[in-house]
């Protein structure tokens, strides 16, 4: 998901999901999904069949998985509170987190990667990169989570809707526009990024900014591939 939003003065994880020393997410109902973007995803949603939920209640976690379950359940609560749903009432982890339990040695390194990437761009720019990736991958849970997180980062509902369908509205900043085009181009491209696209991005963002856009796009592409491979659905009770 970067499923972790970023504040300009803090690091957070997005699936596209984490925090540093100062987390300042405002809390809204996680059951409300205002943007009408769910129909972008055509999946029949078989996530629970592909990777059935692993929970303490079901007693189907081995010792290594239980350690990572507790870690992931705790960190997602710290980062998101009730802003988005990362755990259903039955204790099953949502988004990419349940899938991570099937490879417990990867869980914390995956989170660490997201944490390392999350501070490279300010939150609104990071979310623009994530939405660029989602405009191509159409990962259902990612669309749900980052519609909410992008609006919390300062993007308008109209901007989010446009970015999710591949249109960069003129109301975004020049940096956001450059980051979005890098994210979309890299997600679509099979082969090197063309020099014209690189130079256009570099002229606005500089080398460090280009790499920030690349790292954020790549990190969320990782999450997006997991979500699509697992056919991860909307959390229980979420409506759109």
Residue appearing with tokens 């993007």: 155
d(CA 40, CA 26): 27
For the chain, 240 residues long, the average pLDDT of each consecutive 10-residue run is 45 40 38 49 69 97 98 93 92 97 98 91 98 98 97 98 98 99 98 98 99 98 98 85
d(CA 104, CA 214): 27
Question: Which DSSP category does 32 fall into?
Answer: B
User: Which pLDDT value is given to residue 53?
Assistant: 97
Please report, to the nearest 10 degrees, the dihedral formed by the alpha carbons of residues 120, 125, 127, 129 taken in order.
Answer: -80
User: Which pLDDT value is given to residue 231?
Assistant: 96
CB atoms within 10 A of CB 100: 25
Identify the structural domains of the chain with CATH numbers, from first to last.
1-22+43-233 (1.20.1290.10)
User: Which pLDDT value is given to residue 186?
Assistant: 98
What pTM was computed for the model?
A: 0.85
User: Which pLDDT value is given to residue 90?
Assistant: 94
User: Which pLDDT value is given to residue 237?
Assistant: 84
d(CA 9, CA 49): 40
H/E segment holding residue 233: none
Q: For residue 64, what are the CA distances in angstroms to 32, 48, 106? A: 34, 21, 11
Q: How many helices (H) and strands (E) does the chain have?
A: 9, 0
User: Which pLDDT value is given to residue 234?
Assistant: 93
Instruction: At 160, list the tokens.
Output: 């989010």
Closest by alpha carbon to 47, among 81, 97, 114, 110? 97
């Amino acid at each position: 998901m970067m499923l972790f939003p970023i504040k300009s003065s803090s690091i957070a994880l997005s699936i596209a999901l984490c925090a540093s020393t100062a987390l300042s997410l405002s809390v809204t109902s996680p059951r409300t999904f205002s943007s009408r973007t769910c129909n972008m995803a055509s999946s029949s949603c078989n996530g629970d069949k592909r990777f059935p939920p692993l929970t303490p209640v079901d007693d189907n976690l081995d010792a290594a998985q239980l350690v990572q379950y507790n870690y992931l359940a705790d960190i997602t609560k710290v980062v998101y509170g009730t802003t988005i749903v990362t755990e259903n009432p039955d204790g099953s982890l949502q988004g990419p987190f349940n899938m991570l339990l099937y490879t417990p040695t990867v869980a914390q390194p995956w989170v660490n990667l997201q944490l390392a990437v999350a501070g490279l761009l300010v939150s609104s720019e990071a979310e623009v990169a994530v939405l660029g990736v989602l405009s191509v991958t159409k990962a259902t849970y990612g669309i749900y989570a980052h519609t909410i997180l992008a609006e919390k980062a300062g993007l308008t509902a109209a901007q989010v809707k446009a970015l999710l369908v591949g249109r960069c509205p003129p109301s975004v900043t020049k940096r956001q526009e450059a980051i979005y085009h890098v994210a979309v181009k890299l997600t679509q491209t099979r082969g090197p990024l063309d020099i014209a696209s690189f130079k256009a991005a570099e002229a606005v963002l500089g080398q460090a900014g280009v790499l920030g856009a690349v790292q954020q796009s790549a990190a969320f592409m990782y999450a997006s591939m997991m979500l699509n491979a697992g056919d991860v659905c909307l959390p229980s009770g979420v409506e759109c």
